[in-house]
């Protein structure tokens, strides 16, 4: 398998810079997820690794060998496309074995490998069908089979699940996770879905506007986001962020409420306070840090989402485990779990608390 | 669940009546061509507009084939049409692929120029074309017709091919290249088989256009042995009379290659070859 390294990689289209200062080291067998909003350059980065898009500057290395100008076919990397990109005039077996056909591998070997992959992916009785006679999930499996068969140095996935319905997406996500455990191959996976990112990744790379915002394990990103963008992008539902005025002991919210943050030495520089919905407790009216009025209440069974209005601050979302008997219009008190609160400076960078 | 609407029999009858009317309307001229071709000369005027002639003869056909230069015209037309169709499709496929896939300097200008060439009536440029061909010493040669037809058909054929290439997802080529193909291999093994309907349509379009072209053929060819079929048809018109029977018989014979050609390419014209390639 392979260790992949990107050093100061950039991508420019004319004078437009779509990716800059990309530095990333991917360990052998690691599952890396590139995540970010659409247009952040994540697919372009993946296509640069694949060799389908030229690298404007910087170095791209596989196992310490510079591969910038190596053609896609010589990089020994397999890719699963968002659109599946199955060859419509070839049946499933030929689609899967196409790379071996190009390499002129012996027919017998090709047949046995295709049969084996089809078996693993549950496609054994579909091998003589054309792609148009397959369902979305089956096409997705064929696309994966085509990648697996090559036994490549690394796998690239470009939003492979975004065309599937919700139930199938969960199922295929699980299969990709299993595949990674089984092959222990280096994998780079692009998605805009943070749930996919959090569930699959060893490490997540958060991209925005052509820059890497943060690289870290799912828990690192959740617990110690480097800036406001990562804080709001990772975690569902998104983090509440409200403007505050930093003081020596904590922060003062828009309605004058003081919130003490004893373990935050940099609170004085804070311009915004971020608290995840699950880190706010609902307490009796009149107690806690803030007084709020419930606006919309969503009962999900396992959780309750409460959208509340706080005078002088605005709408805040609170998520509590289990079924919380709150009715719209009811007045409540909110207590912020200050040990889980995040502070952001003017430029959006997180002010680290003492560890 | 018996919500399936019962089809009104009157509607079915109406539908088939409309189809039948259209078919008769469209095919009647062809029938008339065949009918006059089969009518003995003596009956053409005397029986006038009778739907079926009282007597049938194949003499017009045998005369056309064995006693006129029709076979030569026919061969000339075949060579010109096949040549024009082949070269046009070859160039148009290359240009269409480039327009569809690559970004290059001057692309918009070239496309604009190609559109401009389509705006002029052919009559306007007949004289300059004649001059150019004459200066090249190509008058009375089939080569001149192949060149002229190819040149005139390339713009439209290119746009046609470009739209076919546009319909083939770029991901397919990327996937093929990831699978180990060079760009050319990807073109040959993945794109080409999917472009067959486009190639078929372009070939058919240019072939029929060249097959029935009269203006340039009339202009550039005056020698009998180099005449194409549409020009040759005019030889049935003499100073004092028109030999309708033979002319129609020649017309019927001339339909044969067009029909054969379309029967041959129609299986490539079937749409939906790319369905199933991407999501769906």
Residues of chain A positioned with their CB less than 8 A from the CB of B164: none
Domains of chain A (ranges plus CATH)? 4-229 (3.40.50.300), 238-351 (2.40.50.140)
Nearest Cα to Cα of residue B208 among B271, B259, B269, B247: B259
The answer to whether residue B78 is domain-embedded is: yes
B110 and B182, same structural domain? yes
Question: How many independent structural domains does chain B possess?
Answer: 2
Partner B contacted by A165 (CB < 8 A): no
Contact B36, B57 (CB under 8 A): no
pLDDT band of residue A335 (cuts 50, 70, 90) is very high
Q: In chain A, pLDDT over 90 holds for what percent of residues?
A: 73
Q: Is the pLDDT of residue A56 over 90?
A: yes
User: Which residue segment(s) compose the domain that B25 sits in?
Assistant: 9-57
Partner B contacted by A150 (CB < 8 A): yes
**pLDDT tens for residues A38-51?**
889 999 999 999 99
**pLDDT tens for residues B91-101?**
999 999 999 99
B46 and B105, same structural domain? no
Q: What is the predicted pLDDT for the residue at A354?
A: 52
Q: What is the predicted pLDDT for the residue at A200?
A: 94
Partner B contacted by A130 (CB < 8 A): yes
Q: What is the predicted pLDDT for the residue at B1?
A: 46
Q: Is the pLDDT of residue B278 over 70?
A: no
What is the ipTM score, two decimals? 0.83
Q: Please judge whether A136 and B280 are an interchain contact, meaning their C-beta atoms are less than 8 angstroms apart.
A: yes
**pLDDT tens for residues A159-205?**
999 888 888 899 889 989 998 998 889 999 999 998 999 999 999 99
pLDDT band of residue B279 (cuts 50, 70, 90) is very low
- Tell me how far the alpha carbon of residue B227 is from its chain's centroid: 19
Q: What is the predicted pLDDT for the residue at A246?
A: 87
Residues of chain B positioned with their CB less than 8 A from the CB of A133: 276
Q: Please judge whether B279 and A84 are an interchain contact, meaning their C-beta atoms are less than 8 angstroms apart.
A: yes
Tokens representing residue A39 in the block:
């247009």
B138 and B34, same structural domain? no
The answer to whether residue B276 is domain-embedded is: no
**pLDDT tens for residues B69-108?**
888 999 999 999 999 999 999 999 999 999 999 889 999 9
Separation between Cα atoms, residue B248 and residue A329, nearest integer Å: 90
State the CATH number of the domain containing residue B129.
Answer: 1.10.3720.10
| Nearest residue in chain A measured CA to CA from B182 | A73
Contact B103, A53 (CB under 8 A): no
Partner A contacted by B223 (CB < 8 A): no
Partner B contacted by A243 (CB < 8 A): no
DSSP letter (8 states) at residue B242: B
B75 and B44, same structural domain? no
Contact A53, A46 (CB under 8 A): no
B77 and B46, same structural domain? no
The answer to whether residue B159 is domain-embedded is: yes
Q: What is the predicted pLDDT for the residue at B143?
A: 93
pLDDT band of residue B271 (cuts 50, 70, 90) is low
Buried b (16+ CB within 10 A) or exposed e, B158-172: bbbbbebbebbbebb
Counted across chains A and B, CB pairs separated by less than 8 A come out at 89
Q: What is the predicted pLDDT for the residue at B4?
A: 62
B109 and B222, same structural domain? yes
Most B-contacting residue of A75, A84, A143 (CB-CB within 10 A), to test interface: A84
pLDDT band of residue A214 (cuts 50, 70, 90) is very high
Helix (H) / strand (E) containing A296: strand A290-299
Residue B19 distance to chain A (closest CA, Å) = 32
Q: What is the predicted pLDDT for the residue at A157?
A: 95
Nearest Cα to Cα of residue B45 among B250, B249, B238, B241: B241
**pLDDT tens for residues B113-164?**
999 988 888 888 889 999 999 999 989 999 999 999 999 999 999 998 998 8
Separation between Cα atoms, residue A179 and residue A80, nearest integer Å: 13
Please, is B217 exposed, middle or buried when counting C-beta atoms within 10 Å of its C-beta (0-12, 13-18, 19+)? buried
The answer to whether residue B167 is domain-embedded is: yes
Last residue of a domain, one of B19, B35, B57: B57
CB atoms within 10 A of CB A221: 27
């Amino acid at each position: 398998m392979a260790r992949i390294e990107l050093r100061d990689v950039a991508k420019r289209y004319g004078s437009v810079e779509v990716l800059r200062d990309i530095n990333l080291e991917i360990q052998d067998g690691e599952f890396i997820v590139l995540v970010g909003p659409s247009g952040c350059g994540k697919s372009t980065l993946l296509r640069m690794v694949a060799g389908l898009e030229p690298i404007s500057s910087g170095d791209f290395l596989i196992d310490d060998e510079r591969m910038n100008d190596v053609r896609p076919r010589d990089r020994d990397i397999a890719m699963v496309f968002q659109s599946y990109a199955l060859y419509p005039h070839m049946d499933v077996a030929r689609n899967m074995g196409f790379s071996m056909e190009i390499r002129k591998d012996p027919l017998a070997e090709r047949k046995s490998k295709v049969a084996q992959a089809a078996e693993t992916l549950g496609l054994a009785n579909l091998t003589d069908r054309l792609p148009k006679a397959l369902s979305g999930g089956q096409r997705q499996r064929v696309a994966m089979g085509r990648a697996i068969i090559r036994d490549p140095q690394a796998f690239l996935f470009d939003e492979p699940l975004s065309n599937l319905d919700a139930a199938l997406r969960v199922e295929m996500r699980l299969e990709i996770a299993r595949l990674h455990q089984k092959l222990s191959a280096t994998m780079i996976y692009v998605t805009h879905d943070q749930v996919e990112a959090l569930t699959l990744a060893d490490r997540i790379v958060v991209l925005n506007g052509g820059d890497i915002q943060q690289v870290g394990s799912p828990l690192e990103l959740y617990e110690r986001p480097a800036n406001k963008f990562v804080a709001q992008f990772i975690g569902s539902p998104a983090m509440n962020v409200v403007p505050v005025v930093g003081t020596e002991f904590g922060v003062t919210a828009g309605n004058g409420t003081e919130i003490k943050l004893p373990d935050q030495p940099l609170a004085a520089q804070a311009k915004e306070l971020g608290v995840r919905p699950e880190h706010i407790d609902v307490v009796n009216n009149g107690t806690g840090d803030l007084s709020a009025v419930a606006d919309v209440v969503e009962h999900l069974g396992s959780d309750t989402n409460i959208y509340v209005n706080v005078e002088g601050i605005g709408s805040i979302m609170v998520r509590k485990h289990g079924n919380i008997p709150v009715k719209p219009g009811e007045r409540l008190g909110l207590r912020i779990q200050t040990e889980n609160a995040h502070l952001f400076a003017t430029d959006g960078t997180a002010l680290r608390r003492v560890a | 669940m018996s919500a399936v609407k019962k089809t009104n029999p009157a509607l079915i009858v109406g539908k088939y009546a409309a189809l039948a009317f259209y078919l008769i309307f469209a095919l009647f001229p062809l029938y008339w061509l065949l009918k006059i071709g089969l009518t003995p000369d003596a009956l053409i005027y005397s029986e006038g507009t009778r739907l079926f002639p009282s007597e049938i003869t194949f003499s017009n056909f045998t005369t056309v084939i064995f006693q006129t230069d029709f076979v030569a015209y026919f061969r000339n037309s075949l060579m010109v049409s096949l040549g024009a169709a082949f070269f046009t499709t070859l160039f148009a496929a290359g240009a269409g692929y480039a327009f569809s896939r690559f970004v290059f300097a001057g692309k918009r200008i070239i496309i604009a120029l190609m559109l401009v060439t389509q705006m002029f009536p052919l009559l306007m440029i007949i004289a300059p074309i004649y001059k150019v061909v004459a200066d090249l010493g190509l008058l009375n040669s089939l080569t001149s017709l192949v060149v002229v037809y190819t040149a005139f058909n390339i713009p439209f054929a290119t746009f046609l091919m470009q739209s076919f290439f546009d319909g083939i997802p770029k991901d397919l080529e990327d996937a093929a290249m990831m699978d180990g193909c060079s760009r050319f291999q990807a073109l040959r093994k993945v794109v080409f088989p999917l472009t067959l309907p486009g190639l078929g349509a372009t070939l058919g379009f240019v072939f029929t256009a060249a097959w029935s072209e009269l203006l340039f053929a009339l202009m550039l060819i005056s020698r009998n042995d180099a005449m194409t079929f549409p020009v040759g048809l005019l030889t049935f018109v003499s100073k004092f009379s028109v030999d309708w029977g033979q002319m129609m018989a020649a017309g019927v014979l001339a339909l044969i290659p067009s029909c054969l050609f379309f029967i041959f390419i129609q299986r490539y014209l079937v749409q939906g070859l790319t369905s199933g390639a991407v999501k769906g």
